Amino acid sequence: MLILNFEGYFQMRMATDPDPTDDKRGVSGYTFALAGEPDLDAKIHLQPNEEGVWERKFGPGGGPKVGVKVTHATRNGKPAPDLVGTRVAFVDAQILEHNGLLVRNDYFIIHPFRVRLLKAGDETILLERVDWLNPDDPDMPENDATGTMLSRRQATKFTSNSQAVADATGLESPANVALIANRLERRRSLQALLKKTKDPIEIAALESRIEQLAIVERWWELSANVGQNRVINRRAKQLALQLDGWNVDMNGAVGANELRAATNYPWNISFWMGGWDGDALTGYVKGTWTIPLAENVEERR
């Protein structure tokens, strides 16, 4: 077996409810394509050089940087240091949701689902495989899939105030009061950056971000905003939300196989996503890709 543990920040520039997910700029939700920025593409970008990635400026203290890498690897139970630092990509993937106009209510799937492993230093593709919702009909539109087919691509557990997310993203604590403090600190950082900015387009974008970062509590429930679990706005709450349970036995065509994986067996990938930062339009992903090797299959035969 080849076991690859990976993690890092991804970017997904997507409109949020009540906007439909295919809105190109963002109007009524809390995520926007701001002045000087390209349209939202709603794709999951795990690597900073992918077309569509747009990393914003953060000022003092910095912010999350896109990039998902293999942090630990084993080959047949032995360390595989040559694979540490290789990069994972979800090619053209989107999270299909149901906050649209005419969309199924059992969505929230990652689709398409094509996973790629790239060398650390260049664009050489070491492994690539696609998962099909219906192996008997690979070209079947997702709208025709059964609920069982869709469930293979869905998270199974949603956890608020997740300690695992806090540990991965460096939050002081997953408690609401800490999440509020994080957003207000980012706001102060952007205010400092604004004072040094001369470009009128950048100024307009920064002012919009600063305004959004000030919204940290549900104003209509202020009487409950006390202690460690203050009633916070989703802009802050999402920072410690964890979507766990993605566990996919990848079943489709193999596009690259430089590591001699067994192609007639599923390649299992399990992961969680969370820590959504509505200012940076990033989140965190952490998981394991388990891939049978051809040499081991041949030995068993």
> Lowest-pLDDT range, 12-26, 124-138, 178-192, 196-210?
12-26
The position carrying tokens 């305004």 is 211
Answer whether residue 36 is part of any domain. Answer: yes
Whether the predicted pLDDT of 1 surpasses 60? yes
What is the CA angle 237-156-126, rounded to 5? 95
pTM: 0.94
> Bridge-partner residues for 125, per DSSP?
118
- Residue ranges making up the domain that contains 54: 2-156+245-300
Average pLDDT over residues 137-152: 93
Q: How far apart are CA 131 and CA 90, in angstroms?
A: 11
pLDDT of residue 77: 97
Whether the predicted pLDDT of 50 surpasses 50? yes
Sign of torsion over alpha carbons 182, 168, 239, 202:
positive
Answer whether residue 38 is part of any domain. Answer: yes
Average pLDDT over residues 174-200: 96
Answer whether residue 117 is part of any domain. Answer: yes
Average pLDDT over residues 253-260: 98
Answer whether residue 103 is part of any domain. Answer: yes
- What is the number of domains present in the chain? 1
pLDDT of residue 296: 80
pLDDT of residue 219: 59
> Bridge-partner residues for 82, per DSSP?
none
Answer whether residue 186 is part of any domain. Answer: no
Answer whether residue 289 is part of any domain. Answer: yes
In degrees to the nearest 10, what's the CA dihedral of 165, 168, 173, 175? -10
Span 63-111, pLDDT tens digits:
999 999 999 999 999 999 999 999 999 999 999 876 655 456 677 899 9
Task: Please check whether residue 50 is in contact with residue 44, taking contact to mean a CB–CB distance below 8 angstroms.
Answer: no
pLDDT of residue 17: 87
Decide: residue 43, CB within 10 A, 0-12 exposed, 13-18 middle, 19+ buried.
buried
- Comparing 194 with 230, which gets the higher pLDDT? 194
Percent of the chain's residues with pLDDT above 70: 92
Answer whether residue 175 is part of any domain. Answer: no
pLDDT of residue 300: 46
Average pLDDT over residues 135-156: 93
Answer whether residue 16 is part of any domain. Answer: yes
Average pLDDT over residues 1-16: 97
Can you state the angle between helices 176-196 and 200-213, rounded to 10 degrees?
Answer: 160
Task: Please check whether residue 276 is in contact with residue 17, taking contact to mean a CB–CB distance below 8 angstroms.
Answer: no
Q: How far apart are CA 17 and CA 26, in angstroms?
A: 9
Q: How far apart are CA 273 and CA 251, in angstroms?
A: 22
Helix or strand (DSSP H, E) at 158: strand 157-159
Q: Report residue 67: phi and psi, to 5°.
A: 160, 115
What letter does residue 252 receive in the DSSP assignment?
Answer: S
The pairs formed by 138-146 with CB atoms below 8 angstroms and a separation of 24 or more are 138/252, 138/253, 142/96, 142/109, 142/111, 143/104
